[in-house]
Homo-oligomer: A and B are copies of this chain.
C-alpha cells in the first residue's frame, strides 16, 4: 500500500476516454471548474469553501498527501506513508511498523525523523515574469534554459525570504503554459500518534494491491508540532461518522505526483520501448533480490521489508502502466489526437510559427539520448532514468549529497543544479542529517548490487567501470563502504558539511571517494543532458503546450506536478468483464476473506476483537475521482468538508491514469470514515484520536479558527 505515494508510479484498461470528459481532472485550486460542478451536481464550491479545503490539506514532502483533522493539529494519512518512520522509531523488541503504535498521552507522541508536512498558503501566476527573463532567447538553447532556471530560483528566493518555515516553488503547469509560484508552510516537527498493525493496514498484501474490492485499514494519525506544542491550524476537516452514500458527490484534495497525458507520439513510443520496460526490468530483478534477502533472516526482514513493499508496489504500478501504453489501440488513439492537434495548429499561422519544428525537436532529443540512456542512468542516476542501484544506498546518497553540496554552495543560487538551490536546501539538509538508522548488511547489498549492474550494463572495459572498480570486486568495495564509512554517523556528516569543499577534498572516507568519482564523471553527462536533451524536449513540449493552451485555455487541467489538486467524483462501483463490483466493503467481508495465511492473515487486534466489531460497518469504498500516485493519504470530503474517506489506492484500471482517464473503470480506493472510527473505537481503543475527531465534539462543517 505504498500504492499512491509518489514513488508508486502508477496504468490500464482501454475503454479509452470518450469525448465527454466525465468527472475527469486533477484541478488546481485556482482553476476549479466550479460552474461545471454546479451544473452537474447542484453544489457550488465557493471561494471560501475552496480556501478552507486547501488550507486543511497537506503534502508530505516525501511523496504522500495528508490533512488536518482536528483543531489540535491532528493529521490523517495512510499507514504506508508513515511506515518508514515507524520502522525508524522501532528497535530491539518493538516494531511499531508491524505491531502498530498508540500514544496514550501527548508525551508518547514521537517525532518522525524524516517527515515534513507542507500547507499550501498561496499560488501566484508568474508566467509573465518567467517569460520576461528569456525574452529574445532561442527556445531550447542552453542560454534559454539557464535564464529560465535563474528566474525561477530568484522568484523562489524572494518568496521565502530565507524563512526556514517557508518553502517556495515555481511550478510549471500545462508544461509551461502557466508558471505558478507556490508558497508552503513547512511543519518540520511531525510526530506519530496512532498506527494500526501492518497486517491490518496492508491486509491482502501485494495480491490485493491495485484492486477493489478491498479490506485494508491503511490509516494512521500524526500530529504537527511547533515550538514544542501541538499546532493550532487555521483550517481543518471535521469527521463524518456515517460516511458517504453510493452516488454521493465527493472530493479528493491531495497531491497527485505525475501524469503524462499530453506527450507527443514520439515520447509515448520512447516510454513504451525504453523508459517503462527498462524501469520494469530493473525493478523486477531488484524485487527478486529483496524478496530473498527479506526471507533469509529476521534482521534482514527488519531492514528491507519496507523497501520491498515499496518495490512490490512500484512493480505492479509500472506493470499496469506498461499494459496501458503498449496496447495497440492506445497508441493509435494518441496518433489520432496528435494529428488533430497538429491540424489545428497548422490552421493558425501564429500558432504554426510558434510551434515550428517542436515535434521534430522532441523526437531528435529522444534519438540523441537513447544510446546513452544507461550510461546516464548509472553514472548520473537522475530522472528520467533513475533505477535501483548504488546511489540508492543511503551511505552513498549521503556522500553524494555532501560532495555535490560542497561544490554547489560555492556558486550563486541561480547557477546551481536545481536540487541544490537555496529553496531546496532545507529538505536536502533534513535528509542529509537524518537520524534514521543505517543497516550495514543492507547498505552492502545495495552497493554491491549497484556496482555489479554498473559493470554488467556498461561492460568491464568501460572507462568509468575501470575507474570505479580497478582490480577490486563490487562486493569488496561495498563491504568497505558498509563497514568503514563513517557517514553512518549524522555528526560526521554535519562536520563534513560544515567543512565544505576543503573537507570533502581531504576526506578518505570510502563513500566520499566513491561519490567524488561519480560526481566527476556525472557532471559533464548532466550538463550534456540538460543542455542538449532536456532543453530540446522542454522547449518543444512548451511550444506545443502553449499552442494547446492557446486553443483550450484553462478549460482543461494541467498534468499532475505533485502539488495540491482537487478532484471531484461520486461513490461508485464498477464492472469488469461482466463482473459487477459494488462500491462498499465491510468488516464482515474482511473476516470472511481472511485465510490465516499471509498476506490474508488478520491483524491480532482485529482477530481478537471480532465480537466487538459491528460487522456491517463499511470498511473500504471506491469512487470515480481522478487521482494518481502521490494522492496516498488524501482526504475524501463531502460538500460539508467532512472527512468521508482516506484515499490509499486505485484499482488496476486506474494505473492507466498516467496516460488517460477512463471514467468507466478508473476508481479511487479509500478507507471509509465510519470504518476508521469503528476500528479506532472497537478494535484499537484509541480514545484520544476518537475524542479529537468525533463529530460529537463540534457538529458539522469544516473547522476554522
Contacts and interface: CB of A to CB of B under 8 A. Distances in A.
Interface residues of A, number: 41
Nearest to A445: B292
A288 B281 contact: no
Interface string A100-114: 000000000000000
Contacts of A286: 288
A40 interface: no
A288 B277 contact: no
A207 interface: yes
Interface string A278-289: 001110111111
A164 interface: no
B287 A471 contact: no
Interface string A318-331: 00001000101000
A326 B274 CA distance: 8
Contacts of A456: 206-207, 316
A595 B473 contact: yes
A460 B212 CA distance: 11
Contacts of A342: none
Interface in A600-646: 600
A211 interface: yes
A596 B292 contact: no
A273 interface: yes
A361 to B, nearest CB: 17
A307 interface: no
A489 interface: no
Nearest to A280: B281
Nearest to A209: B456
A455 interface: yes
A692 interface: no
A201 B456 CA distance: 19
A208 interface: yes
Nearest to A598: B473
Contacts of A598: 473
A46 interface: no
Interface in A291-310: 291-293, 296
A159 to B, nearest CB: 44
A247 interface: no
A460 B274 CA distance: 30
A472 interface: yes
A512 B207 CA distance: 26
Interface string A531-561: 0000000000000000000000000000000
Interface string A183-204: 0000000000000000000001
A234 interface: no
A669 B326 CA distance: 36
A272 interface: yes
Contacts of A211: 459
Q: Which 9 A-B pairs have the closest CB atoms?
A: A288-B288, A292-B292, A473-B597, A288-B289, A284-B285, A284-B284, A285-B288, A471-B595, A207-B460
18 contacts: A204-B460, A206-B456, A207-B455, A207-B460, A272-B273, A273-B326, A277-B280, A284-B288, A285-B285, A285-B287, A287-B288, A288-B288, A288-B292, A289-B289, A291-B292, A292-B293, A471-B597, A472-B595
Interface of A: 204, 206-208, 211, 269, 272-274, 277, 280-282, 284-293, 296, 316, 322, 326, 328, 455-456, 459-460, 471-473, 476, 595-598, 600
Given A289-B292, A472-B597, 16 more contacts: A207-B459, A211-B459, A272-B273, A273-B326, A280-B281, A284-B285, A285-B288, A288-B291, A288-B292, A289-B291, A292-B292, A292-B293, A296-B296, A316-B456, A471-B597, A476-B597
